[in-house]
Chain A
Amino acid sequence: EVQLVESGGGLVQPGGSLRLSCAASGFTFSNNAMTWVRQVPGKGLEWVSGISGSDDSTYYADSVKGRFTISRDNSKNTLYLQMTSLRAEDTAVYYCALDGYYFDTSGSRIDRFAYWGQGTLVTVSS
């Protein structure tokens, strides 16, 4: 059974830093791309960052580029999101998700965030 468990959320002051973790189990972590998605309470979903499973390429939404860093430790089956220079607008529930994309028989890429964690709340406030 695939399980994703986020941790590390909490209250932090504007300008501060926080590191989120996502412990993965039930699948071959090193072979899979992973992603972070956030959700301001009561609002919609926002893709934040992704990391490939092959060459550790990383990708960021413009809203967090230069402030957030995604990484992974395949020996620990853990995904991370280092967040710096935090702002009030970064307040959200942060979800990690398994980016289980694949290619169908016609060669088309099928994107899917197949599994999600339960989320961890980050509150940026003084």
Chain B
Amino acid sequence: SSELTQDPAVSVALGQTVRITCQGDSLRSSYASWYQQKPGQAPVLVICGKNNRPSGIPDRFSGSTSGDTASLTITGAQAEDEAEYYCNSRDSSGNHYVFATGTKVTVL
């Protein structure tokens, strides 16, 4: 299967930690990448590979993977982290990509 599954929504209290998971068979052979998207804006890469943050992404964002599940953790969530988060990976063919349906993160 080339599908990736995420929980539709999670909430986190300001300053607390939230973990978003992404599950799919393709994650056994390909790393996930994670994207943050705020309303009206283009997605922004926040994590790729084992746990690589692009320049400018705060270190409260981290990634991990185990088996068929990738995780994005926000440690000490801030109000500006409220957004939709999507995971993505290559599918089993190796030449196509698939996005999960996204997780809406609400910071309370």
Please provide the chain A residues from 109 to 124 with a CB less than 8 Å away from any CB of chain B in the complex.
109-119
Of the listed residues A44, A45, A47, the one surrounded by the most CB atoms of chain B closer than 10 A to its CB is A45
CB distance from B55 to the nearest CB of A (A): 10
- Whether A114 touches B102, Cβ cut-off 8 Å, given contacts A44-B86, A47-B97, A109-B30, is no
Shortest 3 CB-CB contacts between residues of A and residues of B: A112-B48, A110-B49, A47-B97
15 A–B contacts, CB within 8 A, in A order: A44-B101, A45-B99, A47-B98, A95-B43, A109-B31, A109-B90, A110-B52, A111-B31, A111-B88, A112-B45, A112-B49, A115-B45, A116-B42, A116-B44, A119-B42
A115–B44 alpha-carbon span in the complex (Å): 7
A92–B14 alpha-carbon span in the complex (Å): 33
B49 adjacent to A104 (CB under 8 Å): yes
Q: Tell me how many residues of A have a C-beta within 8 Å of chain B.
A: 24
A83–B96 alpha-carbon span in the complex (Å): 19
The secondary-structure label for the interface of chain A is strand
B31 adjacent to A110 (CB under 8 Å): yes
A108–B32 alpha-carbon span in the complex (Å): 12
> Which chain A residues lie closer than 8 Å to B102 at the CB level?
44-45
> Which chain B residues lie closer than 8 Å to A59 at the CB level?
95-96
> Which chain A residues lie closer than 8 Å to B97 at the CB level?
35, 47, 50, 111
A interface vs B, CB < 8 Å? 35, 37, 44-47, 50, 57, 59, 61, 95, 104, 108-119
CB distance from A63 to the nearest CB of B (A): 11
B42 adjacent to A111 (CB under 8 Å): no
A33–B71 alpha-carbon span in the complex (Å): 26
Q: Which residue of A lies closest to B97 (CB)?
A: A47
A47 is contacted by which of B31, B45, B88, B101 (Cβ under 8 Å)? B88
A37–B97 alpha-carbon span in the complex (Å): 10
CB distance from A80 to the nearest CB of B (A): 19
A115–B99 alpha-carbon span in the complex (Å): 16
> Which chain B residues lie closer than 8 Å to A117 at the CB level?
42
